[in-house]
Amino acid sequence: MKSLEFTEFLVKELVTKPDLVSVKEFDEDEFKVLQVLVSSDDISKVIGKDGNTINAIRTLVQSSAYLNNDKKVKINVDSF
């Protein structure tokens, strides 16, 4: 599973409005940047207390990218 699809799957499972989740991928020289957009009601669920949830998502996605011999991944989360 690609990093983009995996990230989208994880985030959609956490939020109350999965149809409003958007994940876009941008390639940099040494890494990929995944921009995750969620509704303002769901941003706290994705970030979690002290950032624990988003850190866990980052760890899972980076591990998946490593196992698939892909570039390093950075994940940015924002709301609309």
Q: Can you identify the CATH homologous superfamily of domain 3-79?
A: K homology (KH) domain (3.30.300.20)
Question: Which ranges of 15-78 does DSSP label H, i.e. alpha helix?
Answer: 43-47, 52-67
What pLDDT score does 9 carry?
97
What pLDDT score does 38 carry?
97
Q: Where are the domains of the chain?
A: 3-79
Asked whether 57 and 21 are in contact (CB, 8 A), the reply is no
Prediction pTM value: 0.90
What pLDDT score does 11 carry?
97
What pLDDT score does 8 carry?
96
| Residue 36, strand partner residues | 23, 77
Which stretches of the chain drop beneath a pLDDT of 70? none
At a CB cut-off of 8 Å and minimum separation 6, what does 22 contact?
36, 37, 38
- Length reported for the chain: 80
